[in-house]
Amino acid sequence: MNYYKNIVSQILKMTSDGFIITDTEGNVREINKQYADFFGKSRSEIIGKSILNIIPNSKMIDIVKHKFSEEDAVHKYIDGEAKGNSVIVSRSYVEDEDGNVVAGVAQVKFKVQTLAVAKKLMNEYEELEYYREEFQNQNRVDNIIGSDPKFREIVKECLKVAKTDIPVLLTGETGTGKEVMAKALHTNSLRCDKPFVSINCAAIPFELLESELFGYMDVAFTGAKRGGKKGKFQLANGGTIFLDEIGDMPSSMQAKLLRVLQERCFERLGGTESLSVDVRIITATNRDLARMVEEGTFRRDLYYRLNVFPIHMPPLRERQNDIQPLAAYFVDKYAAANGRSGIRISLAVMDMLQRYSWPGNIRELENVMERAVLLVGQDGLILPQHLPRELHSTHCPFGPEAHKGPVEPYTASGTLQDRLDELERACITDALARHKGHMGHAAQALGLTERVMALRMKKYGISYKDFRQH
């Protein structure tokens, strides 16, 4: 008997579940430490006591008396240290060889807590899935902002190539949206559920680029991370790898990249094992790779491998009609990020945006609108003084060149009076900005008396002090 008792005792110690045994009167004869700890008591404080002293709403006495069982029932504690907690419990009676009830036993699975954690994790997973879908929707090729006819033709080309594994080479000036297009190509591909991994070849020092791309073993060099490190290619396996600024890749790395493209395998730095990889390659550059090939600074064979489907991203100055919707998008984006709403772009500002050459392209436009959102007043109207100086230097709304060129007017919302008020306000603020807050000179430029100018400024809540240079 002691033999079996010792076995049972050892089992009760090993399990993570709680166990309690009572006699036919409901007195506790055995309880394991896990269950006793749950009550905040020692085993000696519980054994020998009525189970009702520990669990006032226990069914153990009824189970022993009426000979029934329960499996995976939810039990909530109403008293003591465990008050308010819920567990999954299975209860039953124990008979001897003659069929007489000799004990009651309960197994407590601390599963409700686990289920609560699992539910939380599931909610977080669902939230992540929601944001992943939102990310994918935002980065779909057909959702990229742009109505310019030439740009829409590029979008059509991208939709055709997205479903393939053909290497794509994105070219264009800095800030034209090459990475956005790369993400869109991935999102619209058959690999959309797999990783999208991006690396800027120009931003990684030459001596670290190989380990970043292909990873390393823990014996590769002094200070290497224990267990080694996976490279970008391994992380992107099954998905897409985006190599930005490919024109800045050193020639030695060009050879290693060519091998990956040809053989679909590589070795980690310091390793000898050849690792297979299945990735879609998208590259981008703002340099003239064809000229670099002729100059001998970029491998010809690699160039032909990458340039299977070239896509040129046009500069923003060639997408005049897209400035308005892009600016509005960035305003909404950063307004939401800063807990603002209802921020509008004045007519004068939109005119300035459309006349600027945008050497930094879309990235520069985004930065300008982010700055404007941070500077805008409580009225929520972005005015000329909220734009950086370089945009003012190219703007002359009242000069002879004011309306030269095919500039699309900004379509404001609201009634005719609202639009007239906005235009009047924009003209006043622009004049004050050009004359550095000198109200008399600004009034003269607008053909107004100082008194009328003062009344108009009071109407729109404009102060000349905001335009004085400090």
- The pLDDT tens digits for 317-368 are 999 889 989 999 999 999 999 998 889 888 888 888 988 999 999 999 999 9
> For the purposes of burial, counting CB atoms within 10 Å of the CB of 205, is it exposed (0-12), middle (13-18) or buried (19 or more)?
exposed
Q: How many residues does the chain have?
A: 470
Q: Are 364 and 321 in contact (CB under 8 A)?
A: no
Identify how many contiguous H helices and E strands the chain contains and give both numbers: 20, 16
Confidence of residue 409 (pLDDT cuts 50, 70, 90): very low
* pLDDT range class, residue 400, cuts 50, 70, 90: very low
Segments in 356-438 forming alpha helices (H): 361-375, 389-392, 416-434
Predicted local distance difference test score (pLDDT) of residue 365: 95
Range 382-387 average pLDDT: 88
Written as six digits, the tokens of 290 are 């064809």
Structure tokens at 367: 């930065």
- Write down the mean pLDDT value for the chain: 82
Full set of structural domains in the chain with CATH: 2-112 (3.30.450.20), 139-314 (3.40.50.300), 318-467 (1.10.8.60)
Reading the block at residue 240, the tokens are 């897409």
More confident residue, 392 or 468: 392
| Range from 39-53, 114-128, 296-310 carrying the lowest mean pLDDT | 114-128
Top pLDDT among 399 and 438 is at 438
3-state secondary structure of 182: helix
Dist CA 372 CA 238 (whole Å) = 41
Query: Do the beta carbons of residue 334 and residue 373 sit within 8 Å?
Result: yes
pTM for this model (two decimals): 0.58
Does residue 263 have a pLDDT over 80?
yes
Q: What angle do CA 220, 284, 196 make, to 5 degrees?
A: 65
Share of the chain above pLDDT 70, in %: 82
Average of per-residue pLDDT across 69-85: 75
| Sequence letter at residue 317 | R
291 close to 243: Cβ distance less than 8 angstroms: no
Name the CA radius of gyration of the chain, rounded.
36
pLDDT: which is higher, 136 or 458: 458
Q: What is the pLDDT of residue 401?
A: 39
Most confident of 178-187, 270-279, 409-418, 419-428: 178-187
Q: Give the CA distances from residue 339 to residues 18, 142, 204, 332, 343, in Å, rounded to whole numbers and listed in that order.
A: 49, 28, 35, 10, 11
Write down the pLDDT at residue 90. Answer: 86
Output 372 or 141, whichever has higher pLDDT: 372
Greater model confidence, 47 or 122:
47
Torsions phi, psi for 359 (to 5 deg): -65, -25
Q: How far apart are CA 247 and CA 304, in angstroms?
A: 13
Whether 396 has a pLDDT exceeding 80, the answer reads no
- Tell me the pLDDT band of 404, cut-offs 50, 70 and 90: very low
The amino acid at residue 458 is: K
Burial per residue of 75-98, b for 16 or more beta-carbon CB atoms within 10 angstroms, e otherwise: bebeeeebeeebbbbebbbeeeee
Which residues on adjacent β-strands are paired with residue 170? Answer: 284, 311
What type of residue sits at position 218?
D
pLDDT > 80? residue 101: yes
Residues 239-249: pLDDT tens digits? 999 999 999 99
Q: Specify the range with the lowest mean pLDDT, choosing from 189-203, 284-298, 397-411, 430-444.
A: 397-411
Q: What is the Cα–Cα distance from 265 to 154, expressed in whole angstroms?
A: 32
Percent of the chain predicted with pLDDT > 90: 31
| Chain position carrying tokens 């730095």 | 269
| Least confident window among 2-16, 93-107, 387-401 | 387-401
The pLDDT value recorded for residue 439 is 87
210 residue type, one letter: E
177-231 per-position pLDDT tens digit: 999 999 999 989 999 888 999 999 988 888 888 888 988 886 555 455 555 788 8
pLDDT digits over 30-62, tens only?
A: 998 888 888 888 989 999 999 998 888 888 888
Give the span between the Cα atoms of 82 and 39, in whole angstroms: 6
Residue indicated by tokens 């045994």: 21
341-343-345 Cα angle (round to 5): 160
Between 131 and 31, the more confident residue is 31
DSSP 227-274: T-EE-HHHHTTTSEEEEETGGGS-HHHHHHHHHHHHHSEEE-BT---E
Confidence of residue 124 (pLDDT cuts 50, 70, 90): low
What is the average per-residue pLDDT within 371-386?
A: 88
Q: Measured in Å, how far apart are the chain's first and last C-alpha atoms? A: 95
Across 262-271, 276-285, 402-411, the highest mean pLDDT is recorded for 276-285
